[in-house]
Chain A
Amino acid sequence: AQSVTQLDSQVPVFEEAPVELRCNYSSSVSVYLFWYVQYPNQGLQLLLKYLSGSTLVKGINGFEAEFNKSQTSFHLRKPSVHISDTAEYFCAVSDLKAGGTSYGKLTFGQGTILTVHP
């Protein structure tokens, strides 16, 4: 079984400041990791994903995340946030389905609400 823990339920930050949203996971098998963002009244949108290769993954809107296998973490970072980054962010983990061509089901963390203040 897999689980995801997002360590902060809310993160307030001032505009142009750096931010880190923390995510830890547990799994007995190799995993694939995702960050999704949900703006008000919209569906979840994929920010970035880690499948394999480089542990530093760059996504949309200037976000990046680093996969750390030893610490079982996949923290999301942005060096300078904007007001428009205010949203809820979800970390998710998946394993690999038999056959290797698609993911297993996604397990989500509880979400982190990022609020950027002017």
Chain B
Amino acid sequence: GAVVSQHPSWVICKSGTSVKIECRSLDFQATTMFWYRQFPKQSLMLMATSNEGSKATYEQGVEKDKFLINHASLTLSTLTVTSAHPEDSSFYICSARTSGRTLAKNIQYFGAGTRLSVL
């Protein structure tokens, strides 16, 4: 199956600094990518949908100025957590969707996630 690479897998930063997480589709082009956040023992919560060449669509309650998303190419989307604080510590997961003329060919592939710890 298709591969989505997410980097870094784990990052520790000081409060007030910014952190960038990369999400790459390695063997397919993805016009649409997704960013999720997962708290311990909870479900994946969609933060935003990233479309190549246009602004991301954020879910209700997600601060767009804090979680900057850039999808500059068909294989790369980035999430930047600006001025991170301890409450931003979480597991962030990206996903890229293949595109096709039928629903069966539209599949979301997921990265392995990034664990962010803000001290």
Contact = CB atoms under 8 A, between A and B. Distances in A.
B67 interface: no
**9 nearest CB pairs, A to B:** A43-B110, A44-B110, A108-B43, A43-B112, A108-B44, A110-B43, A43-B111, A102-B106, A42-B112
B107 A44 contact: no
A41 B112 contact: yes
Interface residues of B, number: 28
A105 B46 contact: yes
A43 B4 contact: yes
B61 interface: no
10 contacts: A4-B43, A32-B103, A41-B9, A41-B112, A43-B4, A43-B6, A44-B93, A45-B1, A90-B44, A103-B106
A44 B34 CA distance: 13
Interface string A36-65: 100001111110010100000000000000
A43 B109 contact: yes
B99 A106 contact: no
Interface string A20-36: 00000000000010001
Contacts of B97: 102
Interface in B45-99: 46, 49, 93, 95, 97, 99
Nearest to B94: A43
Interface of A: 4, 9, 32, 36, 41-46, 49, 51, 90, 96, 100-103, 105-111
B41 A9 contact: yes
Find the residue from B32, B46, B49, B108 having the highest chain A CB count within 10 A.
Answer: B108
A46 B4 CA distance: 13
B111 A111 contact: no
A33 B46 CA distance: 17
A46 B2 CA distance: 11
